[in-house]
């Protein structure tokens, strides 16, 4: 499976988790169980983000550095990492 397919597969699973969350809320599931599932969906999003980030550095950032215009690519990278740590 290519990385793109792998990422899509994980995003579909996350979509399923979010739909599952709606069902839980509709059926008045105990709040703490809903919160645990929200935390799980967030962790899954973070994990797929890390996969995309690794791919991004390995392709775009590496290329930018090799072609001697790495600086804006690195600024952009640090900026997106900051968003991820919020």
CA distance 67 to 78: 19
CA–CA separation, 29 and 35 (whole Å): 10
Task: Report how far residue 82's alpha carbon sits from residue 33's, in angstroms, rounded to the nearest whole number.
Answer: 29
**Residues 21-60, mask of contacts with its own copies (x by CB under 8 A):** xx--xx-x-xxx-xxx-xx-xxx-xx-xxx-xxxxxxxxx
Contacting positions for its own copies (CB under 8 A): 4, 7-8, 11-12, 14-15, 18-19, 21-22, 25-26, 28, 30-32, 34-36, 38-39, 41-43, 45-46, 48-50, 52-60, 62, 65-66, 70-71, 74-78, 80-86
């Amino acid at each position: 499976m290519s990385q793109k397919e792998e990422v899509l597969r994980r995003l579909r699973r996350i979509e399923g988790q979010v739909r599952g969350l709606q069902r839980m809320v509709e059926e008045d599931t105990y709040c703490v169980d809903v919160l645990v599932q929200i935390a799980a969906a967030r962790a899954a999003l973070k994990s797929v983000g890390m996969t995309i980030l690794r791919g991004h550095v390995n392709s775009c950032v590496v290329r930018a550095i090799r072609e001697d215009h790495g600086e804006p690519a690195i600024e952009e990278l640090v900026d997106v990492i900051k968003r991820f740590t919020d």
